[in-house]
Chain A
Amino acid sequence: MNNFQYSRASDVADAIRLLAADPGAKLIAGGTNLIDLMKENVERPSRLIDISRLPLRDIEETADGGLRIGALVPNSDLAYHPLIEQRYPLLASAILAGASAQLRNMASVGGNLMQRTRCAYFYDTTTPCNKRSPGTGCSARDGLNRNHAILGTSTSCIATNPSDMSVALAALGALVHIAGRTGERTVALTDFHRLPDDKPHLDTNLGSGEIITAIELPPQGFARNYSYLKIRDRLSYAFALVSVAAAIELEGNAISEARLALGGVAHKPWRSPEAEAALRGQAATPDHFGRAADLLLQGATARSHNGFKIELARRAVVRALIQATNATPQSQAHKKIA
C-alpha cells in the first residue's frame, strides 16, 4: 500500500473540485474494491476523496414512473428496498447473488458499477497486464484464463467485468447520471462500460474528473417474468463463471418484450438487440430460447481454458428464460439451482 492523502468531500461539487486538483486522486465510497486493490499495490492513489457521506442515498420516484437511485445507496439497502423488491425484483436478485452480506452492506451503487476485473494477473503487480500497466502485454491470453471473456475481447485484454448488479441494470435499460466540471450528463448503462479494444486500462466511459451521482431505472420493471441465474464454482460467494439476467413480458404464451444480459463473459454486461428481437412475438419455448441464446453468443471465442463458458452460457440462458416464463425466478437464498 502506498502513502496517500485523505480528503472528505463536502458536496458533489467539492468532490469534483478535489478530483480536478489532483490527477492521482480517487473517490472512495464503500472501499470494498478500492482498498483491496490498494493493498495489492494495483491502485496507488495519491489522494482518497471520501464521498461516503455525501447525500446521495435517496431512492425516489421519477416523473415518468421510474426510480432514481443515489450513487451511495448501499447494495443491501437497494436489494431490500420495497420499491425494488416489488417493481424491479431482477435487480434485487442480481445484487443478492453477489459478494456476501457484509460486503453488500458496505458496497455502494457507484462503487459496484466501477469495480474492476478479478483477472488474477491484474491483481499481481509482478506479471504483465495491459489493463494495469498499458503496453506490458496480456498474461491471461495464454495463461490461466478459465474465468475470462468469450465475447468482445481484444488482443490487448480478455478480462471480464465482475459486477452482478450491472448485468441486471443492463437488462433493465438503466441510465447512469454523471456529474463533472462541465455539468451533468446521462449515459445508458450499456454504454457506460467499455469493451477493452486497445485501451483496456479504461473500464468505463466515465471521464477522469467525473462522479456518478445516481442511476435511473425506467418504468418497465419486468416484475413478473424474470430471473437472475448465476453459475459459479461454489453455490455462494464466488464471482460468476456465467450469469444471465432474463426479463420478459408475456401475453399468453407469446413474448411481447424481452431483455437478456450476460455477466462473466465480457468486459461489460453483454446484450444483443438481435437476440432480444428474435424473442419478441415468439412463443415462450425452449427452442426459441435456444435460438436467442445462439444469437446472444454469436461471435463467442474461447482461449485455452474458457471454452466451456460458451455452452454453459447457452444453457444458462435457456434455463433463465424458462424460469422467467414460469415466474419461478432463481432464488438467491436456496442452496440450489432451480
Chain B
Amino acid sequence: MNAYVGTPTSRVDGRAKVTGAAKYAGEFTAEGLVHGFVVEATIPRGRIVRLDTGEALKVAGVLDVLTHTNRPSLADKDEAWKDEVAPEGSPFRPLYDDLIRFNGQPIALVVAEEWETAKFAATLVRIDYEQDGFATDLEAERGSAREMDKPHEPRGDAKAALAAAPLRHEADYLIPTEHHNPMELYATTTVWESDGKLTVYDKTQGVQNVQKFLCGVFDKKPEEIRVLSPYVGGAFGSGLRPQYQVVLATLAALALKRSVRVVLTRQQMYGLGYRPMTIEHVALGARPDGTLDAVSHEAIAVTSRYEDFSRNDTGWAEQLYKSPNSHFSHKLVDLDVSTPCDMRAPGAATGVLALECAMDELAVALKLDPIELRLKCYSDRDQSEDLPYTSKQLRECYARGAEAFGWARRAPAPRSMRDGKELIGWGMATGVWEALQMPVAVRIVLTANGHAEVSCAASDIGTGTYTIVAQVAADALGLPIENISVRLADSTLPQAPVEGGSWMAASSAHAVLGAAEDIRQELARLAKAMPGSPLANLDAADVTLVDGMIASDGKDGAAVSIADVMRHSKLERIEKEKLNQFTEDKSHARNTHSAVFAEVKVDEELGVIRVTRVVSAVAAGRILNTKTGRSQIMGSVVWGIGMALHEETMMDHRFGRIMNANIAEYHIPVNADIHDIDVIFVDEPDSRINRMGIKGLGEIGIVGVPAAIANAVYHATGKRIRRFPITLDKLLD
C-alpha cells in the first residue's frame, strides 16, 4: 500500500517551522540561563603569552571568563575527542592549551547574565601572543603537498597511455574554499538539571555522536548527558562533527553549575569547517573516435596541521567513463587553518566539477557533442572494483534531460548563439554520488486510538526526514499520516548515525519498515486469537495493515479493525523497536546519477552572467516524496549556481585571516540570480539495493551543476575559466 510513499506529501513539520513553534538549539531556555560569548584568536599560529581577563571580570553581570588556565578538566587523550566522523589526526580541543592553531580559534568564553554584557566584556579581554611563522596559501605551498590514501588503485599505465594518446587534454582547475553558511547560527543551550545531569540542545547532524563525544570529553556516564536537536536550520555537513560551541557551553555549565547558552556569530562560524580549496589536475587521453585511453586525476587540497581531512575527489571517472588506463592521487597541504569538513557532496562537488569541465574541453578538441562523448565512454561497470551497478539509469538521464532542455537545437560552435547583447551558452555535465545506507533503529508505539509514534535519534537537518518517516510509517501501518507523530534527534531515542552522505532516507525508511513489520506480526497474532476472528485461519504473512484494519491479502475481504483487536486484547499500546541492518552485498556498485543542462546568457560587453535555465535529470532509485525531493534538487542547483559564479572564501595570506567572513561579502545567489529550474526524476527501479529501492537525494543534486554552468559559459563566450568562481572580471578582455 503506497498511499503516501512516492507522493508530493507536504512537510509534516512545515507548519511548526513557519509559525515559529519549531524550536532551534539557541531558542531553548531554562531557569537562570546565562550566556557565553567566544573570544577568538586573531593570529593564525603561535602561543598565548598573556591573557588578561581582569577588565572583563569587572563588568557588572559578568560571571566568569573561562580560558585554558582556569577551565574545568577536559579529556587529555585524542581518543576522547574523536567523534564518529573525525578524520585521522589529533582533534582540536577548545580552551585546552596556549597554542594557537588557526585564526578565529576560540581562546576564552565570557559568561554573563546577558548576552550583550558577555559580548561587550569579550572586547575587554587582553591577549598577548608570541606569533610563529605561518602559511595559509595553498597555491604558494603546493610544493609541500604530501600524498594521502589512494582511494582508487591505478589501472594499466596511465602515464604511458597519455603520452601515446592521439588527443590529450590536461589542465588545472581551481576551486576556492567555501563555507556552508547555514541560515541558523551554530548554537548550544546546555541545561543544568537539578540532579546535576545535563540536557544539551545543540545544532548538530547527529545527537548520539555529540552525546558520546561529550561523555568522552567531560568524562561523564551516558545517562548524565542527553543531547537533543529537534530542528536544524541547515547544516550541509558542517554539523556532522561536534562543533566547539557545544564543548564551551557544556564546559561553562559545569564550571558554573548553571544553564548556559552559547551562540556563535556569523563571523565566528568561519572558524568552523569548510569545503577545502582544491587544485584539481585532470589529464585525459583519447582517440579520435572519442574513446578514452587514459584518465589521470590528481587533487591537492588544504587541510589543517592537526587533522588529515580528505574525500574522494579523484575517483569518479572510474564510475563514469570507460578507460583502460587510469591514475589517481590525492595530496594534502598542511596549513595554519582549521580542519576542513564535509560540505554537500564532499569530494564529488569539486572533483566532478574538474572532471566534467575536462570532458567538455575534450569534446571541443574532438569536435564531438558533449553528450555523444559521454555516451562513447559510458561505463556500465564501476571500473575500480569491476562491478556492475545495482541500477544505473544515467543514459536515460542524458536522454530525458536533453529532451526537456532542447539540446538538439544547440549550435556547437562557441559564440554562435545570441539574444541581443547577450551571448547564449548551453552546457551540460554529469553528476554522480554514492548510494549509502547505515544501520538505524526505530521504535514504534501504536496506541489503541489508532495513533502511532515513531521515534529515532536521527536528525532532520531540513532535508525532510520527519516527513518521509511519517510517510513510510503511515503506509506500513495503514494509518492516515495525521495519525503518525514522529520524534527525532534525541540521544535517548533508538540508534542512528549522523545524518549525512545521503544515507538517511534509505536507512530510516527501512528501519521504520522493520519496526512496522513487527507491529503487524503482533497485531496479526492478536487478531487470530480473537474468538470468531475472520482472520483465524490466516497466516501473519497474509495480512496487511490498511485503513486502520488488519486485512486479509486474499479476495475474501476479511478484516478486523486495529482498535477492536487492541481493545479485545486489553492492550493500550504495542511497542516495537527494531534495528535495521542492511546485508552487505559487495557484488554491485551503488550510485546515484544525474545529467545537468544549463543555459547561460552573458552580456558580451559587461561580462554579467545569468543562468537562465537549468534542467537536472536525476536517477536516484525510488523517490519517497516528490515534493521534498524536488526541493532538495532545486536547492542543490541554486547552490551549484553559487559554486560556479559566486562562492569564495577570501583569505589575506599576509594575516592568515578570512576577509569576507559575513554574508554581505561572501556571495551566494539571490533571487535575482535564479531563473527556471526544472527537476526530472528518471524512473530507476532497483530491487537489489534494498527492499524499497531507495538511494537518497541529499547530495547528487549539486554534483555536475557548476560544471554544466562553466561549460555553458565557455560555449557562450569561447572563454574557458578554470579558476572558480567565474566572476565577470574573468570574462572581460
Contacts and interface: CB of A to CB of B under 8 A. Distances in A.
Interface of A: 1-3, 41, 118, 120-121, 124, 126-127, 139, 142-144, 146, 231, 233-238, 241, 308, 311-312, 315-316, 318-319, 335-337
A315 B608 CA distance: 12
Nearest to A125: B42
Interface in B385-422: none
A238 to B, nearest CB: 6
Contacts, number: 86
Interface in B643-669: 645-646, 650, 652, 654-655, 657, 659-660, 664-665, 667, 669
B1 interface: no
A336 B603 CA distance: 9
Q: Which 9 A-B pairs have CB atoms at the shortest separation, nearest pair first?
A: A235-B672, A236-B672, A308-B729, A120-B659, A126-B42, A335-B672, A315-B605, A237-B670, A236-B670
A127 B123 contact: no
B671 interface: yes
Contact of A1 (B123, B606, B646, B650): B123
B626 interface: no
Nearest to A100: B670
B659 A144 contact: yes
Contact of A316 (B123, B606, B646, B665): B606
Contacts of B672: 234-237, 335
B119 A233 contact: no
**Prevailing SS type, chain B contact patch:** loop
A2 B652 contact: no
A165 B464 CA distance: 43
Contacts of B654: 139, 142-143
Contact of B667 (A238, A311, A316, A319): A238
Contacts of A41: 123
A231 B605 CA distance: 12
B728 interface: yes
B129 to A, nearest CB: 11
B606 A234 contact: no
Given A144-B650, A235-B672, A312 B607 contact: yes
Interface string B698-733: 000000000000000000000000000001110011
B732 A308 contact: yes
For chain B, the bracket of interface size reads 20 to 34
A120 B606 CA distance: 25
A326 to B, nearest CB: 13
Contacts of A120: 650, 659-660, 665
A235 B673 contact: yes
B116 interface: yes
A124 B655 CA distance: 11
Given A233-B646, A235-B673, A3 B120 contact: yes
Nearest to B665: A120
Contacts of A308: 729, 732
9 contacts: A1-B116, A126-B655, A127-B655, A234-B669, A235-B610, A236-B670, A311-B733, A335-B672, A335-B675
Interface in B135-169: none
Contacts of A235: 608, 610, 670, 672-673
Contacts of A126: 42, 655, 657
Contact of A146 (B606, B669, B729, B733): B729
Nearest to B659: A120
Given A241-B729, A312-B729, 20 more contacts: A1-B120, A2-B123, A120-B650, A121-B659, A126-B42, A127-B652, A127-B657, A139-B652, A139-B655, A144-B659, A146-B729, A231-B606, A233-B667, A233-B727, A236-B671, A236-B672, A237-B672, A311-B733, A312-B732, A318-B605
A3 to B, nearest CB: 6
Contacts of B670: 234-237
Given A121-B659, A126-B657, A233-B646, A311 B123 contact: no
A3 B58 CA distance: 13
Interface in B70-127: 116, 119-120, 123
A335 B670 CA distance: 11
A126 B732 CA distance: 34
A21 B655 CA distance: 39
Contacts of B610: 235, 335-336
Given A124-B659, A308-B732, A337 B120 contact: no
Count chain A CB atoms within 10 A of each CB in B665, B669, B672 and give the residue with the most.
B672
A144 B137 CA distance: 14
Contacts of B608: 231, 235, 337
